Amino acid sequence: MICNKAKVLMSAAVDGELTTREEEELSEHLSECPQCREEFQDAKNTKIIIQERLVRVKAPKNLVDSILKMTTAIP
Ligand SMILES: [Zn+2]
């Protein structure tokens, strides 16, 4: 998984909105990405909303859109 998608999942996880599959994907990514692990800790602590985080990492807008579509398409 790419870090930007992991960040989206993290934000949803903070809000308790992840599906079981997403939770598995996220923890799999966190187990191999210390940077995101730290980021997730931070997210849980501060509960910064997704948009602010995405702006801060300066993801290309079309990438952000496709990530959001990807995650919102999952019930
Ligand atoms: Zn990562």
| pLDDT score at 42 | 83
Dist. CA 64 → ligand 1 center (Å): 15
Q: For 18-73, what is each residue's pLDDT tens digit? A: 999 999 999 999 999 999 999 898 888 776 555 555 555 665 667 777 777 877 76
Tell me how far apart the alpha carbons of residues 75 and 71 are, in angstroms, rounded to a whole number: 9
- The pTM assigned to this predicted structure is 0.58
Tell me how far apart the alpha carbons of residues 25 and 9 are, in angstroms, rounded to a whole number: 9
Dist. CA 38 → ligand 1 center (Å): 9
Dist. CA 44 → ligand 1 center (Å): 16
Identify residues whose C-beta is under 5 A from ligand 1, the ion: 3, 6, 33, 36
Dist. CA 47 → ligand 1 center (Å): 18
